[in-house]
Amino acid sequence: MTSTQSGAEVVSAPLRDAATVVLVRDAADGIEVFLQRRVKQMAFAGGMTVFPGGGVDKRDADADLAWTGPDATWWASEFSSDAEVAQALVCAAVRETFEECGVLLATDSDGSFADPSGLGGDRQRLVGKSLSFAEFLTARGLTLRADLLRPLAHWITPVNEKRRYDTRFFLAAMPDGQQADGETTEAEVARWANARTAIESWAAGEHFLMPPTWSQLNYVAGFATIDELLAAERVIEPILPNVTPGAGLAGLGFPNSDEYFRTLGDQQPPEITL
Beta bridge partners, 69, equal none
- Ordered per-residue pLDDT tens for the chain, 274 residues: 444 454 555 567 889 999 999 999 999 999 999 999 865 544 455 578 999 999 999 888 876 899 999 999 999 999 999 999 999 999 999 999 999 999 999 999 888 998 898 899 999 999 999 999 999 999 999 999 999 999 999 999 998 888 899 999 999 999 988 999 877 766 677 899 999 999 999 999 888 899 999 999 999 999 999 999 999 999 999 999 998 887 777 788 999 999 999 888 777 766 543 3
- Which H/E stretch holds residue 166? strand 164-173
State how beta strands 15-27 and 164-173 pair.
parallel
Fill in the amino acid letter for 212.
Answer: P
Buried b / exposed e along 59-86 (16+ C-beta atoms within 10 A): bbbbeebebeebebeebbebbebebebb
CATH 3.50.50.60 fits 2-264, yes or no: no
Length of the chain: 274
Terminal CA-CA length for the chain: 17
The string of DSSP letters for 54-82 reads EEPPGGGG---SEEESS-HHHHHHHHTS-
Instruction: Collapse the DSSP code of 62 into the 3-class scheme (helix H, G, I; strand E, B; otherwise coil) and give the result.
Output: coil
CA distance linking residue 218 with residue 109, whole number of Å: 37
Instruction: Collapse the DSSP code of 239 into the 3-class scheme (helix H, G, I; strand E, B; otherwise coil) and give the result.
Output: strand
Could you tell me where the DSSP H helices lie in 106-204? 120-127, 133-140, 195-203
Per domain, the residue ranges of the chain are: 2-264
- Which H/E stretch holds residue 145? strand 143-145
Confidence (pLDDT) at 11: 64
CA distance linking residue 95 with residue 7, whole number of Å: 40
Fill in the amino acid letter for 158.
Answer: P
Instruction: Collapse the DSSP code of 118 into the 3-class scheme (helix H, G, I; strand E, B; otherwise coil) and give the result.
Output: helix
